[in-house]
Amino acid sequence: MKLALDAMGGDHAPAVNILGAKQALDLYPKIQKIFLVGDGSTLEAECKKHQLESERITIVHASEVIGMAEPGAKTVRRKKNSSINIAMDLVKAGDADAFISAGNTGACVASATIKLRLIEGIDRAGIASPLPNEHGVCNILDAGANPEAKPQHLIGYAIMGTAFAKHALGITDPLVGLMSNGEEDEKGTTFTKETFALLKETPGIHFIGNVEGHDLFETPLHVVLCDGFTGNIVLKSCEATAKAMGKWLKQELTANPLRAIGAAMAKGAFKALKAKSSYESYGGSPLLGVNGVVIIAHGSSSALAIQNALRVGMETAENKVNEAIRQALAQ
């Protein structure tokens, strides 16, 4: 398994990318090669600093970097030698099995769409982002790739999300819901009502109807469909809420000595809860719908998040998710 890592992508690049790659190589022997893509001299210095010396590492020079605040599609075309484009070229050429980046999401989506092209039958790619709930993991699709989606785009997401849940997550019969402002069939906007009608007629998916915000955490669900604008807001709101609750809980538990003793006794439970709710544990989100494995990690990824994003890239490629999507579309 060979992986192309945009080593210049993310708020804390390149240090966390180098550390994440080092950790991934230690943990996952199936990874034969990690291509570190970015400024050659910078990456060589970082590798030396963090004692990353391995025959399984190859530095690929890229003279440009796309900033987090730059417009994605325009900058991809302007900065042809960016680390995102060069890393994506490795996947296009077949030299790498997956692309991983914590960089500019819009640029990653644009580069993947331009260079890898969309799977036949898919009109728009979508990001499937995992959200933990009482029953396992629910994937929000789309979480930001396509903010102005049309109903037919969500039909593609339903098919791709089902295939991903089956082949990457091992779920026999994935349950698919449509995000709306009420569970009743007649609830929602014109967009969601049109999508609802199409989903009811779509073969090969187990559509359970409209779902609301609380269903993300309480209801057995594996794929929740929405446009990228809504999905991105939902995902970031959940992340911010979890972070705030963790901070408030820590403040309350250290408010007096008695509470602190209780907190120390429950340290293991708190640690497990943090691991379950943290984006770092999940690493990255697959961009479904392109002819290649593309994993988009959180912009503020830590080394642990990069390590797990590399793992997700490896597993998605291993499970041949794109082949499953093509078969599902054909059916």
Encode the chain (331 residues) as per-residue pLDDT tens digits: 999 999 999 999 999 999 999 999 999 999 999 999 999 999 999 999 999 989 999 999 999 999 999 998 899 999 999 999 999 999 999 999 999 999 999 999 999 999 999 999 999 999 999 988 888 889 999 999 999 999 999 999 999 999 999 998 899 999 999 999 888 888 889 999 999 999 999 999 999 999 998 999 899 999 999 999 999 999 888 888 888 878 887 888 888 887 777 777 777 776 776 666 666 777 899 999 999 999 999 998 999 999 999 999 999 999 999 999 999 888 8
| Whole-number Å distance between alpha carbons of 186 and 192 | 9
Q: Which two tokens stand for residue 296?
A: 């988009």
3-state secondary structure of 302: coil
Q: Do domains 1-122+289-331 and 126-280 have the same CATH topology?
A: yes
What number of residues does the chain have?
331
pTM given for the model: 0.90
Which one, of 288, 297, 304, lies nearest residue 225 by Cα? 288
- For residue 293, the model assigns a pLDDT of 97
* CATH number among 3.60.20.40, 3.50.50.60, 3.40.630.10, 3.40.718.10, domain 1-122+289-331: 3.40.718.10
Handedness of CA 123, 129, 130, 131 (dihedral sign): negative
Helix, strand, coil percent values for the chain (each to nearest 5): 50, 20, 35
Name the token pair of 33. Answer: 């090669």
How many CB atoms sit inside 10 A of residue 249's CB? 13
Alpha-carbon span 112 to 99, nearest angstrom: 9
* Cα 307 from Cα 13, distance rounded (Å): 14
Q: How many CA atoms lie within 13 A of 176 on its CB side?
A: 30
Note whether 209 and 114 are within 8 A (CB).
Answer: no
């991903």: which residue's tokens?
Answer: 164
- The confidence score (pLDDT) of residue 180 equals 93
Return the closest-CA partner of residue 59 out of 84, 39, 29, 80: 39
- How much is the pLDDT for 19? 97
Does residue 132 contact residue 276 with C-beta atoms inside 8 Å? yes
Report the C-alpha gap between 217 and 137 in whole angstroms: 9
Pairing relationship of beta strands 293-297 and 284-288 according to DSSP bridges: antiparallel
pLDDT of residue 154: 97
In terms of DSSP H, where are the helices of the chain? 15-27, 40-49, 72-78, 83-92, 105-116, 151-167, 190-200, 215-218, 228-253, 257-265, 267-277, 279-282, 303-318, 321-330
- Tell me how far apart the alpha carbons of residues 149 and 154 are, in angstroms, rounded to a whole number: 7
Q: Where are the domains of the chain?
A: 1-122+289-331, 126-280
195, two tokens: 């999508």
The confidence score (pLDDT) of residue 274 equals: 67
Q: Report the pLDDT value the prediction gives residue 32, as an integer from 0 to 100.
A: 96
Q: For domain 126-280, is the CATH number 3.20.20.100?
A: no
Residue (of 300, 304, 267) closest to 283 by Cα position: 304
d(CA 55, CA 60): 14
CB 110 within 8 A of CB 289: no
8 Å CB contact between 246 and 238: no
CA distance 328 to 331: 5
CB 211 within 8 A of CB 199: no
